[in-house]
Amino acid sequence: MRPTPYVASLRIYEPMDAFKPVDQLRWKAIALWAPTVREEQSRALARTVAMKTTSAKPDGAHILEIEGRRFVSPWSSGVRSWNAMEDFKESVPRPIAKFFIPTEVDDFLTFQAEAEALDDKVSYILTETWMIPPRWFSLFTMDDVDRGINDDGPYTTARTSIRKAKERCIFTHETVVRAFGNGPIEEEIADLIEWMDIFHPESIVELDYGGLAFYLDSILRSEGEDGLNADTSFEDIHLSLGGLAEGDGSRAGIGYERLVGRWRKVAALESAF
């Protein structure tokens, strides 16, 4: 079981030569088979019980090698911690935020952010807990998907070039705007395009179900299905988008409801723990 089994990730892997020479030396020292996901999650879990600066130990990275070329996705721990706190503070009334984030924690993370100039840095990894946003699925097709079982249990990952991911995301954005106009959903898709625009044009985009693969697999098997092999999330989002693009509301609704209904069952498990 993963240290944080409720987290799914969307990662950008840039080519090794896109980094500064000093960073390239660090990334070359990481073995391709190193358990970087487990180490990243273990450190994140440790920070939930003790205030530890993310710079106390050099940040790590996830590594891919494709056709002899190495790609790197730095953990971006400091940026992600800072962004998570700021997003939470914006999601609740300001007087209430202090009851969830003690002043000493806020001051600690703010000091670290200023010391490391985190405002000028970008996160290579987006995460969600207990669910996967539909817009993430739109970046991939079934040809990009890999499923199986490893030491941590069932897994699902999807990888594609950033070029294809952006093309699909732009199509998703245009389709949603034509169907529903501007609004929160359109803005979230636009933000995803803007995020991908930051990175090297030869980067790789990866969706990792993380520990959610275990829960989804269990739910599908309890319903008499063949576990993750019965997961049609990628097909469902493209069925829905195809229906929207062609003005077929029924087809769009079937795909979207099937997708959201499946992941709603996973999200419901949060209240059971």
What tokens appear for 225 in the block?
């299905």
Q: For the beta carbon of residue 256, count every other beta carbon within 10 angstroms.
A: 18
pLDDT of residue 81: 56
Q: Provide the β-strand partners of residue 73.
A: 62
Residue 50, C-beta contacts closer than 8 angstroms, at least 6 positions apart:
none
pLDDT of residue 41: 58
Choose among 252, 257, 250, 220: nearest CA to 238: 252
Q: What is the DSSP string of 25-56?
A: HHHHTS-TTS-HHHHHHHHHHHHTTS---TTS
Q: What is the mean pLDDT of the chain?
A: 85
pLDDT of residue 151: 86
Q: Residue 158 is inside which H or E element, if any?
A: strand 153-161
List C-alpha distances in Å: 14 to 36, 82, 143: 16, 22, 21
pLDDT under 50: residue ranges of the chain: 45, 47-51, 53-56, 82, 117-120
pLDDT of residue 35: 72
Torsions phi, psi of 267, nearest 5?
-60, -30
pLDDT of residue 82: 47
Tens digit of each residue's pLDDT (9 = 90 or more) over 184-194: 999 999 999 99
Choose among 164, 141, 162: nearest CA to 205: 162
pLDDT of residue 123: 87
206 within 8 A of 73, measured Cβ to Cβ: yes
Q: How far is CA 21 from the centre of its chain?
A: 27
pLDDT of residue 121: 63
How far apart, in whole angstroms, are the C-alpha atoms of residue 28 and residue 26? Answer: 6
Choose among 11, 23, 33, 85: nearest CA to 60: 23
What tokens appear for 209 in the block?
């179900």
pLDDT of residue 33: 81
pLDDT of residue 199: 96
